[in-house]
Amino acid sequence: MRIYRGLDNLEKIQNAVVTQGTFDGVHLAHKIILSKVKQLAKNKNGESVVMTFEPHPRMVLKPNTHDLKLLTTLDEKIELLQKEGIQNLIVIPFTIEFSQIQSQAFIKQILVDKIGTKTLVIGYDHRFGKNREGSFEHLKNYNNDYGFEVEEVSEQLVDEIAVSSTKIRKALNEGKITIAAKYLGRNYSIKGTVVKGRQLGRTIGYPTANLIVDSENKLIPSDGVYAVKVIVNSNTFGGMLNIGNNPTVEGKGRSIEVNIFDFSEDIYNQSISIIFVNKLREEEKFNGLDALKTQLEKDKLLAIEVIQNSLFN
């Protein structure tokens, strides 16, 4: 996949079949759009093109009021789009100045003049240009003037619920991991760096890796205990992870920490990936470390069972 960061070094693409959007999560509805783009590109002897924006437009347009957390970092989005077989990715730096471009100027200057779009594929509710004034209806009415075809992709449903990044964020914020996975078409994941904690876990036989998530804008699921898979140095292990304030241990504070099953290596300062399989329970305060250890024994047995029966490997 060719990656263009901005438009300055972009050359017109042969028979470009283009779609655009934030594509946060690259979820099932996004994949329907991407599949259509790839098929049209093949049929027209052209190339597939995705145009996305960095940072997310809401973070630029509402810097002091947005509470948006993202399903994918830019690097994760790039990796997912590459797996989908997209040939060209254009990452537009989203600024206040860019947001002021009128929809017709956006079409003429960027889609036509810069990219050389021959077919534009958009979702059923997609808007673009200043104040989101551009629409499918506008494009359809003027496509002969612009010199490219327009294809619309209808609303995509999973279990009769429209799939969207917003609904996936809501599911994760409520700890509904399997619902989020169903909409994403994969288990949700985060990446972070292992840092030293107070090392209390090892005193009760459950050492944990304390994690600092790589991106401050990455969505962290709700507090609780989760069955997870952990990727360390390209190897995958089972594990259980706690997000929260550790109420049993006074003064420990808020953390994300994972007990990796059958693992004893020193991984301080290393990057690891956490893949959420399901939520086991809410965080609880126990009457001392012995009671906590007893619960952790139960959690581990349940986590192993949950991981073995995971929908996504």
Are 56 and 204 in the same domain? Answer: no
Query: How many whole angstroms separate alpha carbon 289 and alpha carbon 295?
Result: 10
313 assigned to some structural domain: no
pLDDT for position 15 = 94
284 assigned to some structural domain: yes
User: Ramachandran region of residue 75, left (φ > 0), alpha (ψ -120 to 50) or beta?
Assistant: alpha
Would you say how long the chain is, in residues? 313
Residue range 25-49, pLDDT digits in tens: 999 999 999 999 999 999 999 999 9
Write out the two tokens for 108.
């003429």
The 10 Å Cβ neighbour count of residue 231 is 15
Write out the two tokens for 230.
């952990």
* Sequence-ordered alpha helix ranges (H) in 132-278: 136-146, 165-173, 177-184
Are 16 and 151 in the same domain? Answer: yes
Query: How many whole angstroms separate alpha carbon 287 and alpha carbon 111?
Result: 63
Write out the two tokens for 118.
């021959």
Quickly tell me which residue has 């109420």 as its tokens: 247
Output the domain CATH number for residue 241: 2.40.30.30
Write out the two tokens for 228.
């997870």
pLDDT for position 160 = 63
Are 290 and 142 in the same domain? Answer: no
243 assigned to some structural domain: yes
Are 142 and 12 in the same domain? Answer: yes
Output the domain CATH number for residue 107: 3.40.50.620
Structural domain harbouring 226: 188-308
Are 253 and 303 in the same domain? Answer: yes
177 assigned to some structural domain: no
Give the total number of structural domains in the chain. Answer: 2
180 assigned to some structural domain: no
pLDDT for position 88 = 97
Which residues in the chain come in under a pLDDT of 70?
66, 124-138, 140-144, 156-160, 199, 201, 250-252
pLDDT for position 247 = 76
Are 150 and 249 in the same domain? Answer: no
Closest CA to 189 of 266, 247, 271: 271
**Secondary structure E strands in the chain:** 2-5, 16-20, 47-54, 88-93, 117-123, 149-153, 157-158, 161-162, 189-195, 209-213, 224-232, 235-244, 255-260, 271-281
